Chains A and B, each alone.
Chain A
Amino acid sequence: MKTLEELRKIRDKAKKEMQLRNSEYRIKVVVGMGTSGIAVGARDVMKAIFDEVTKRKLDHVLVAQTGEKGLSSMEPVIDIIEKDKSIVTYGHLTPENARKIIVEHVVNGRIVSDFVVATKTNLEV
């Protein structure tokens, strides 16, 4: 890539692809996979989420990974991002309660308040 125009084109395309409204997915589950998260089981949480999403054929759910936000003592941490809704961050997860969150929040649309550690208004989905 050699010009600013090319760069901006890639930026706009990538931005669009990241937005849920432009994709086949309606919900994005983002797992924090930094060292702090992995050290307390983020990989198992990720596996459980994948498993639950596949088993239930939740084709509208995208599972993605990210680094760490700094919430170390609350790891493993995941974000659930949905169009027109606040981003909900869950913490202190185990594979079991991650499965519960997939069922309750992602499938039934009910926030599992026991594990919520933060919420954030989301304007860019």
Chain B
Amino acid sequence: MSDKISDILICFCPDCVSRGAGKIKELFQTSLIKHNLSNDVNIIETGCMGTCDLGPVLTIYPEGYVYIKIKPEDVEELVTEHFLNNRPVSRLMLPDTFGKSLIKKIDIPFHRKQMKVIMENCGVIDPGNIEEYFATGGYETLAKILLEKSPEELIETLKRSGLRDREGGGFPSWQKWQYVLEAQDDPKYIIVNAEEGDPGVFISRALLESDPHRILEGMITAAFAIGAVQGYIYCRNEYPLAIIRIKRAVEQAREYGMIGENIFNSGFSFDVEIRRGAGSFVAGEETAVISVIEGLRGEPISKPEFPATSGLWKKPTLIHNVETIANLTTIFSKGASWFSSLGTNSSKGTKIFALSGAIRNQGLIEVPFGITLRELVYDFGGGMKPGKNFLAVQLGGPSGGCFTSQHFDIKIDYEFLQEQGITLGSGGVIVLDDSSCLVDLARYFLEFTVTESCGKCLPCRVGLRKMLEILNRITNGEGELEDLNRLESLGSKIKALSLCNFG
């Protein structure tokens, strides 16, 4: 499928037709050909737009401008001005809708300007049917890899691609693979982490629900590269539909021999199990995930070694987030250089963001790294909700940070976030308007962390509560200047003295 750049929707209701819509359409066709635009612009006849007395009416996407009372002599002007010079023709719009007509149709750029790489099948194929995944070329990359590639070659390709972990603070993914491959112990395991505790984020859920076989194919590929015999997908119980779909996908994949013994006669055998756990924020931390799979509580534990050398049942274990895994098949089919051509110097490929808050469009978008806050808020978010003024964007989940319009044009990637002292988290983007108070927001997130702390480490359990008490004082107007120092000192101590990065 390919996108044309624009669509002209011409109203073809009897009224508009009687006012000459047919002629207008023809004139557009000839003019577009004349200006060499016919490959970029689509002409579509539509039903009544409900403004018959203003006909012929047309709407031009992606901008969503509505032009009215179009006469044959206007067509040439529309084509040259609107399409060639990028200047909307306000003369032909309803007098008071210039700019406003954008509002209703603003959803379009949301769709158009994205780059769907790992979400290419999401909302397109039937996730319950492996054959639709086959139809997109699914599992071919896996077959070729199993028959033709060595683990070392795969790790080399991954290294050249520049893929970095999407959840675990942006560690180069190939390095984790290398550690597990080199670990001198058997058996080895792979875990796909589908815990997702950040408020407002549902990227893993959408990927598992909408394209489960992509996750499986990526997982089997990684298992082959590190020599794992068994894999686990850990999913929070709060995602029932994701669990149903991935379970079904595993069954179908087993039926077709994509998992099991001697896959594609390559000598490689691999199996997958789904494990569920009670969702909580800290349960997503990797040692907590490992604990759940071992049958223990979902709490982080103190481990001198990384999972790569001593993970599940103390065996070498590769653990990745769903989104990291979703990139693999694309990298191995399209190649490392294709992948590394997307994004910025420090951050390759695309990232899915979950937009929410005071913007018009909420949802998931996939874009190459290096997107700016301005684009996130205006192009994809569709701008602020009517009557709301921009205050800040919150990035990086509960332990993340806020950015104001001063950061509007900075490109978002791992490097920038590292400079700011935060991690990408899971890709949550919360847009705040000026009716929200940043101290309130901090208090909300602290409340969240207080309830979600597993309570194992004293600094995190008690310290966060103390910080919340101080913030409560401040929001009640009873703050003291010294409170700021107290918060800072508590914050850095909690960070230093807690087991996992949650504290």
Contacts and interface: CB of A to CB of B under 8 A. Distances in A.
A71 B210 CA distance: 13
Interface string B97-133: 0000000010110111000000100111111100110
Contacts of A34: 123, 205-206, 209-210, 241
Interface string A67-110: 11111111001010000011101010000000000001100111
A39 to B, nearest CB: 10
B205 to A, nearest CB: 6
A22 to B, nearest CB: 12
B125 A113 contact: no
A113 B108 CA distance: 13
Residue of B132, B139, B209 with highest tally of chain A CB at under 10 A:
B209
A15 B138 CA distance: 11
B9 A4 contact: no
A79 B210 CA distance: 15
Contacts of A36: 202, 206, 363
A11 B135 contact: yes
Contacts of B360: 73
Given A66-B127, A111-B46, A73 B362 contact: yes
Contact of A69 (B12, B42, B119): B119
Given A14-B134, A67-B210, A111-B46, A4 B127 contact: no
Main secondary structure of the interface of A (DSSP, over half): mixed
Contacts of B3: 120-121
Contacts of A74: 107, 361, 363
Interface string A23-59: 0000000101011101000000000000000000000
B110 A71 contact: yes
Contact of A2 (B119, B139, B245, B257): B257
Contact of A67 (B7, B46, B211, B365): B211
Contacts of B363: 36, 70-74
Contact of B46 (A68, A69, A110): A110
A68 B112 contact: no
B122 A68 contact: yes
A69 B47 contact: no
A8 B131 contact: no
Interface in B1-40: 1-4, 7, 9, 11-13
A83 B125 CA distance: 17
Nearest to A124: B1
Nearest to A9: B134
B140 interface: yes
A3 B264 contact: yes
Given A14-B132, A113-B46, A120 B59 contact: no
Contacts of B105: 116
A63 to B, nearest CB: 11
Interface residues of A, number: 54
A18 B242 CA distance: 24
A69 to B, nearest CB: 3
B467 to A, nearest CB: 32
Contacts of B140: 4, 7-8, 11
Residue of A4, A65, A85, A112 with highest tally of chain B CB at under 10 A:
A4
A121 B241 contact: no
A10 B131 contact: yes
Contact of B49 (A38, A64, A113): A113
A85 B352 CA distance: 29
Nearest to B263: A2
Residue of A15, A70, A73, A116 with highest tally of chain B CB at under 10 A:
A70
B197 to A, nearest CB: 16
B107 A91 contact: yes
Contacts of A66: 123-127, 210
Given A10-B134, A67-B245, 17 more contacts: A1-B264, A7-B139, A7-B143, A14-B134, A17-B135, A35-B242, A65-B128, A66-B123, A67-B125, A68-B206, A70-B363, A73-B360, A74-B107, A110-B48, A113-B46, A121-B2, A124-B1
The 4 closest A-B pairs by CB, nearest first: A67-B210, A110-B47, A69-B123, A70-B364
29 contacts: A1-B257, A3-B264, A3-B265, A4-B264, A7-B140, A10-B131, A11-B134, A17-B135, A35-B205, A66-B123, A67-B209, A67-B245, A68-B123, A68-B206, A68-B209, A68-B210, A68-B364, A69-B210, A71-B107, A73-B361, A74-B107, A104-B47, A111-B46, A113-B47, A114-B50, A119-B108, A121-B1, A121-B2, A124-B1
